[in-house]
């Protein structure tokens, strides 16, 4: 049980260890943004940004509206 918790924490830290993902989270803490808004603010290409957002979504850190 304890090892499972440690693995979960390690996975979360791995997700948060990426500077680009932290930049996205910093922007999102101010409120909801579109992918285009984040793309303009960070200078990331849409494909790269989508990949980072998918990782954050899969980790349960962000959610999306359709």
The boundaries of the domain holding residue 39 are 2-58
How many structural domains does the chain have?
Answer: 1
Please report which residue ranges of 1-66 form alpha helices under DSSP H: 2-16, 19-28, 35-42, 46-58
Q: What is the pLDDT of residues 37-59, one digit of tens each?
A: 999 999 999 999 999 999 999 99
Asked if the structure places residue 50 within a domain, the reply is yes
Q: Which two tokens stand for residue 34?
A: 């579109």
CATH number of the domain bearing residue 21: 1.10.10.10
CA distance 16 to 7: 14
Q: Is 54 part of a structural domain of the chain?
A: yes
Q: Is residue 63 part of a domain?
A: no
Q: Does the residue 65 lie in any domain?
A: no
Q: pTM of the entire structure?
A: 0.88
Q: Which residues contact 26 (CB under 8 A, 6 or more apart)?
A: none
Which percentage of the chain shows pLDDT scores above 70? 100
Q: Which residue has the tokens 């943004």?
A: 33
């Amino acid at each position: 049980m304890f090892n499972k918790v440690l693995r979960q924490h390690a996975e979360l830290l791995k997700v948060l260890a990426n500077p680009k993902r932290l930049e996205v989270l910093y922007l999102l803490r101010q409120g909801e943004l579109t992918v285009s808004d984040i793309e303009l603010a960070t200078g990331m290409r849409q494909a790269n940004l989508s990949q980072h957002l998918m990782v954050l979504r899969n980790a349960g850190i962000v959610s999306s509206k359709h």
